[in-house]
Amino acid sequence: MDLKKKLFEEIKAVESLSTLSFAKSHSIPHQDVVGALKSLEMVADGFLKTEISQSHSLELTSFGCNLIDNGKSPEFALFKRVEGLQGGVHRKILQDEGLFESFNYAKMLGWVDMDQNQNVISKKEVEEDICLLTLQKLAIDPNLKPSSLILNILLRRKALKKITTKYFIVQKGPNFKFNLKEQVTELTEDMIKRGIWKDLSFKKYNFIGGAVSGGHLHPLLKVRAQYREKFLEMGFTEMPTNQFVESSFWNFDALFQPQKHPARDAHDTFFLADPAYCSKLPEDYMQRVKQTHESGGGTGSLGYRCKWSEEEARKNLLRTHTTAVTARMLKNAADMHPFRPVKYFSIDRVFRNETTDSTHLAEFHQVEGVIVDYNLSLGDLIGILHSFFLKLGIASLRFKPAYNPYTEPSMEIFSYHAGLKKWVEVGNSGMFRPEMLEPMGLPSDVRAIAWGLSLERPAMIMYGIDNIRDLVGHKVDLKFIRETPICSI
Amino acid sequence: MPTVGVKRNLLFQALGKTFTDDEFQRLCFEFGLELDEVTTEKQMISKEQGEDSALLAGASEDVIYRIDIPANRYDLLCLEGITLGIRIFQEKIQPPQFKCIKPPPDQIQKMYVKPDTAKVRPHVVAAILRNLHFTQDSYNSFIDLQEKLHQNICRKRTLVSIGTHDLDTVEGPFYYDAKSPSDFKFVPLNQTKECDGNGVMELYSTHAQLKQYLPIIKDSPVYPLVLDSNGVILSLPPIINGDHSKITLKTKNVLIECTATDLTKARVVVDTIVCMFSQYCKEPFTAEAVEVVTADGDSIIYPDLAYRDEVISANTANAIIGIRESPESITKLLNKMCLKSELNAENIKVTIPPTRHDIIHPCDIYEDVAIAFGYNKIPRTLPKTNTIGEQQPVNKLSDLLRAPIAQAGFTEALTFSLCSRDDISTKLGLQSINEVPAVHISNPKTLEFQVCRTTLLPGILKTIAANKKMPLPLKIFEVSDVVIKDATAEVGARNERRICAVNCNKNAGFEVVHGLLDKIMMLLEVPWNPNKTPKGYYLQACEDPTYFPGRCATIICNGNDIGKIGVLHPNVLHKFELTNPCSSVEINIEPFV
């Protein structure tokens, strides 16, 4: 008969049962009995009524066992050593003999004491070694209750230890049944075919799910999908940003970014050794850009009043922003006659030759939106930014004057972060400078409003990630990819 | 963006008002500045140099505001400029009128430019501040401003470098010359020994701040020098001034010289220093002219301190900003921004002072109207632009394939576009990087950024290597761009959209990635073609060092090679620190767009 059945039969027979005594009387390890009990409990709700309880018992340590073997406790040995000796024995001598360490305990028993000259003397007649006797009795009956003094000494001597055992008091529950059917785990094809499921008893479920097999999309790209969706919902057309290598001309010069601007330092930008230069620049347009840089070129600007070099403009680099592509798209729009208003967006990789840390990588995703139309205003930019960020769940925005070489006016976008309890920068925006638009050939009353932000930063906030390398790159934990929730902005 | 540290008590004293940190932050925000940090000298030192720095003992505990300044506002790079700007913004004071005082021809200080300077650093601009009274604080600010200008507009002294001198220790006329490094000797600032040009290079080769400036002239046959009429060397730009003419707290008359490769910027720098510190002169807001005589014999009077008029239309300002302010109101707003304005019929005449060299176009003036009006008070409107949105076809296709690949049990990785040369060559079993049409970066800071990847495979293998604790099998994919050198492209390179998938398990499981390829082709409606005709796809066995011999094939689709499939070579696995066999497939999806 298996243990579960044995236990069931016993519960049937008695009013109340202790798992501990059941284990003892059947010489079964207690933990096996508890296992069988758990399994019986699963038969039905209220099948059993169990109550947890504790029992304390004493157990001899190996040191305690040794004392029994020696036939003498150290305290008794000390007492015997000094018994009846006039003037006792000096502690030094006892220390050398290895007997002194039990002095405190022997003193607690009232067997010995020490005089002013540090001599240990016996106090009274002692017939029996009560420590040894107690240990011997406990070895036979662990439930014995020794006097508190002796117990205290033996515990402090580490001759004994207290053992606490958790066990269960089991009674029949309200739904107890005297007939225990064989329980099965799974409903099988065979049971259905033969119709035997009706007669079977099924194990209760513990409702713990298993892992789902299958693949998973990357968390950052789930966020990208949502951002793309927002732009598409707002009628923006996606720009062809699949071109990481760009010329300085389109990345900087077309944007009226001066050739001596610090961003064009090798410290900030990845320049290319091969292919080092782009092959051709649009000649007429390049001349207009050159004149605008040098002297304003009829745009009403002073320009930068220093020489503009074509060689500098032909230097290839890894684009530092997707605005390089925007510049190409605006030039295309300018080349269309008549001009038709456009709304563009992109989300793609950009590159910065910066020292990387927990929030900066050498490459990241830039989100960019731009509207080009007649007579756009800063109020339009503020309005569209409110609509865009509202779609991302950000309701309160503030704008700070800022500087950007190719936008004027420029505005940094701040939103209130409830967690950090302060305003944090969430993006940058502005109106493209006339020195950028006019050389392209856009009509002079056409204005362009644009904004940009990084994709990683909001994703890190969304997923509660502190280190950007936990989000992108090869060191990302696949478990994280598997377990991130949907992006529901 | 430059950051300027100013002592809070001096700032409030100059502003004539005390603020809480929050109040000051709000004021900054409106004006376009940002209170970045509230700290003390002591905290700054312990942050930079550690708790046990010896400098801590003498450091002050006065509160310092570190304020972020927009990169084009050189006039706000010191306490004097910030307080001037803010007080005008708050309409507490009117903008000062800066003036260049030109002494009679026989008394004007002259600076003669020698032709050799053209070989190294052709331009010089100069000015004099007369009867200046320095305090320790204003002296410190004077030195700090020069450093901020050097770091920003001067582009680390390459474009412009500033020298300031005690005029009373030297005697004009002055000369701007260039001499061979061994042809001159002087005692550099705060040194005791004389040395020549080569000596200076050696002396500062390990100097924490100055060593970065040495390469600007190091290899030039001649080094630029500013000298007085007795041959005393005032400075060796852009490295160091001479000790002889150094300014001290007691200096009364300051000669400012800026040598440059960019004349426009040198003129801006001299104007800026003069505008910021002439307020401490006996006759405030004035500077004494210096006549620079060029090598061609042209005579130019500096500092410029030029005022320039620009006429703008109130209607355009309103239209660009999206507000409806009267011309009178707009002139008031401009006055708050240091731009003196007056009505001129329908238009507004704006006078741009020498502190505002950032204004180069009317749009800069419109921005100042918007700032003075308050960005956050501008009414929100929506653009009326009506357009129909559209996806980029290659991105649309990528997304249409990513989801089914994940549904097929593969997990998506997102790895870097930049990697080492070895990652795409020797680690993949190739002999050398020369076999790969890769784009090379000329100035990588680390090995991780040497080239653009030409294949997605290394990124996925590194992802698997970093996730060894995960139970097998690992099925990973990525849909991203690689960059291929291509002489026919305008910039000499082009992106290519790829799909790469790897199966890593106890055995290679070639059939797993082959199954994925079949699935992708099914989704793209490309039929399997065992007859190897140009319609459909098939596998053509091939040898490739990345793959195990006899376990690799080229994927031919509609007659074109679109990628490779195979079992990775154990040597490749070893180089990526992998111990389990892997099979991979990588294809170009651009033909299907």
| DSSP code per residue over A75-101 | HHHHHHHHTT-TT-EEHHHHHHHT-GG
- pLDDT value of residue B424: 96
Q: In terms of domains, do A366 and A445 share one?
A: yes
Q: What is the pLDDT of residue B1?
A: 78
Is it the case that residue B523 has pLDDT exceeding 90? yes
Residue A427's CATH number: 3.30.930.10
Coil, strand or helix: which one is B246? Answer: coil
pLDDT band at A349 (very low <50, low <70, confident <90, very high): very high
A234, A252: one domain: yes
Cβ burial, residue A199 (10 Å; 0-12/13-18/19+): exposed
Instruction: Find out whether the peptide bond into B173 is cis, omega within 30 degrees of 0.
Output: yes
Q: Where are the alpha helices (DSSP H) in B278-313?
A: none
Q: Which of B578, B147, B134 is nearest to A474 (CA)?
A: B578
The per-residue pLDDT for range B289-337, each reduced to its tens digit, is 999 999 999 999 999 999 999 999 999 999 999 999 999 999 999 999 9
Span A237-266, mean pLDDT?
Answer: 93
Residues A283 and A187 in one domain: no
Contacts of B415 in chain A (CB under 8 A): 472-474
Question: Do A94 and A232 belong together in one domain?
Answer: no
**Do A243 and A298 sit in the same domain of this protein?**
yes
Do A240 and A273 lie in one domain? The reply is: yes
Query: Are the Cβ atoms of A217 and B34 closer than 8 angstroms?
Result: no
Q: Integer distance in angstroms from the first to the last C-alpha of chain A?
A: 60
**Is A239 in Cβ contact with B481 (below 8 Å)?**
no
Say whether pLDDT at A256 is over 80.
Answer: yes
Tell whether the torsion through CA atoms of B282, B287, B288 and B290 is positive or negative. positive
Which token pair is A77? 């040995």
**Contact list, A241 vs chain B (CB under 8 Å):** 392
Say yes or no: A398 and A467 in one domain.
yes
Which positions in chain A touch B405 (Cβ < 8 Å)?
A: 215
**B350 confidence band (pLDDT: 50, 70, 90):** very high
B-chain residues near A376 (CB < 8 A): 383, 385
CA-CA-CA-CA torsion for A312, A316, A322, A326, nearest 10 degrees? 60
What is the structure's pLDDT at B145?
Answer: 94
Does residue A255 form part of some domain?
yes
Q: What is the pLDDT of residue A176?
A: 84
Give yes or no for a contact between B203 and B188, defined as CB atoms under 8 angstroms apart. Answer: yes
> Which residues lie closer than 8 Å to A36 by C-beta, 6 or more apart?
A3, A4, A6, A7
Structure tokens at A301: 């600007």
Supply the pLDDT for residue A132: 85
Q: Do A25 and A120 fall within a single domain?
A: no
d(CA B252, CA B167): 8
pLDDT, mean of residues B461-488: 96
In degrees, to the nearest 5, what angle opens at C-alpha B586 toward C-alphas B582 and B587? 160
The H-or-E segment that residue A458 falls in is: helix A456-463
Mean pLDDT of B564-585: 96
Q: Which of A238, A305, A475 sits opposite B392 (nearest CB)?
A: A238
Backbone Cα Rg of chain A: 43
pLDDT digits (tens, 9 = 90+) for B81-94: 999 999 999 999 99
Each residue's pLDDT tens digit, A377-428: 999 999 999 999 999 988 889 999 999 989 999 999 999 888 778 888 999 9
Within a 13 Å sphere around the CA of B422, how many CA atoms are in the beta-carbon half?
A: 7
CA distance B197 to B199: 5
pLDDT in tens, B184-207: 999 999 999 999 999 999 999 999
Report if residue A36 sits inside a domain: yes
Q: Is B192 left (phi over 0), alpha (psi -120 to 50) or beta?
A: alpha
Query: From the CB of residue B40, how many other CB atoms can be counted at a distance below 10 Å?
Result: 16
Residue A152 lies in a domain: no
Q: Residues of B numbered 503-532 whose beta carbons fall under 8 angstroms of chain A's beta carbons: which are they?
A: none
pLDDT range class, residue B563, cuts 50, 70, 90:
very high
Which of A348, A400, A407, A412 best probes binding to B when mutated, by most B CB atoms within 10 angstroms?
A400
ipTM of the complex model: 0.91
In this structure, the answer to whether residues A254 and A127 fall within a common structural domain is: no
- Domain contains A267: yes
Query: How far is CA B537 from its chain centroid?
Result: 49
Q: What domains appear along chain B, each with residue ranges and CATH number? A: 3-89 (3.30.56.10), 99-302 (3.50.40.10), 308-376 (3.30.56.10), 393-592 (3.30.930.10)
What pLDDT does A375 receive? Answer: 94
What's the rounded Cα separation, in Å, for the pair A268 and A257? 14
pLDDT tens-digit readout, A20-71? 888 888 888 888 888 888 888 877 788 889 899 888 888 888 888 888 888 8
Is residue A355 located within the same domain as residue A472? Answer: yes
Q: Does the pLDDT at position A165 exceed 90?
A: no
pLDDT tens digits along B208-229: 889 999 999 999 999 999 999 9
A to B CB pairs, distance under 8 Å: 297
Same domain as A36, residue A120: no
Q: Chain B partners of A433 at a C-beta cutoff of 8 Å?
A: 361, 363
Stretch B27-49: mean pLDDT: 86
Average pLDDT score over residue span B250-279: 94
B22 burial via Cβ count (<10 Å: 0-12, 13-18, 19+): exposed
What's the rounded Cα separation, in Å, for the pair B222 and A436?
Answer: 40
pLDDT value for A1:
60
Distance from CA of B539 to the nearest CA of A (A): 26
pLDDT for the residue B12: 94
Instruction: Tell me which of A408, A428, A487 to substitute to probe the interface with B (most B C-beta atoms closer than 10 Å).
Output: A408
**pLDDT for B443 beyond 90:** no
Chain B residue with the nearest C-alpha to that of A240: B392
CA B148 to mean position of chain CA atoms = 14
Count of C-beta atoms within a 10 Å radius of residue B43: 16
Following DSSP, what letter does each residue of A217-258 receive, concatenated? --HHHHHHHHHHHHHHHTTPEEP-----EEEHHHHTGGGT--
Domain limits at A407?
220-483
Say whether A130 sits in a helix, a strand or coil: helix
Q: What radius of gyration do chain B's Cα atoms show? A: 33
Nearest by CB to residue A301, choosing from B360, B408, B409, is: B360
Q: Side chain identity at B478, as an amino acid letter?
A: E
Q: What is the mean pLDDT of residues B53-61?
A: 76
Q: Give dist(CA A92, CA B23) in Å, integer.
A: 78
User: Which strands make up the sheet holding A119-122, listed edge to edge?
Assistant: A89-90, A119-122, A112-114
Question: Looking at per-residue confidence, does A144 or B173 come out higher?
Answer: B173
Question: What would the mean pLDDT of A440-446 be, rounded to a whole number?
Answer: 93
Tokens of A61: 């340590």
pLDDT at B446 over 90: no
If asked whether residues A243 and A105 sit together in one domain, one would say no
Please report, for chain A, how many H helices and E strands are present, in that order.
19, 18
Q: pLDDT above 70 covers what percent of chain B? A: 100
Q: How far apart are CA B115 and CA B176, in angstroms?
A: 9
Is B380's Cβ below 8 Å from some Cβ in A? yes
On average, the pLDDT of chain A sits at 89
Separation CA B281–CA B274 (nearest Å): 10
- Taking the CA of residue B350 and the nearest CA in chain A, the distance in Å comes to 14
Confidence tier at B551 by pLDDT (50, 70, 90): very high
CATH code of A55's domain: 3.30.1370.240
Q: Which class for A381: exposed (0-12), middle (13-18), buried (19 or more C-beta within 10 A)?
A: buried
Closest listed residue to residue A448, CA positions, set A374, A337, A389, A385: A374
List beta partners, residue B349.
Answer: B311, B342
**Confidence (pLDDT) at A60:** 84
Chain B positions in Cβ-Cβ contact with residue A303 (cut-off 8 Å): 360
Which positions ≥6 away from B295 have C-beta within 8 Å?
B113, B114, B115, B117, B118
Q: How many domains does chain A have?
A: 3
- pTM (two decimals): 0.81
**Which range is least confidently modeled, A126-140, A338-352, B260-274?**
A126-140
Burial A398-419 (b: 16+ CB within 10 A, else e): ebbbbbbbbbbbbbbbbbeeee
- Find out whether A403 and B364 touch, Cβ atoms under 8 Å: no
Q: Is residue A214 part of a domain?
A: no
Mean pLDDT, rounded, of chain B: 93
Residue in this structure with the two tokens 């923006």, named with its chain if needed: A236
Burial class (CB in 10 A: 0-12, 13-18, 19+), B454: buried
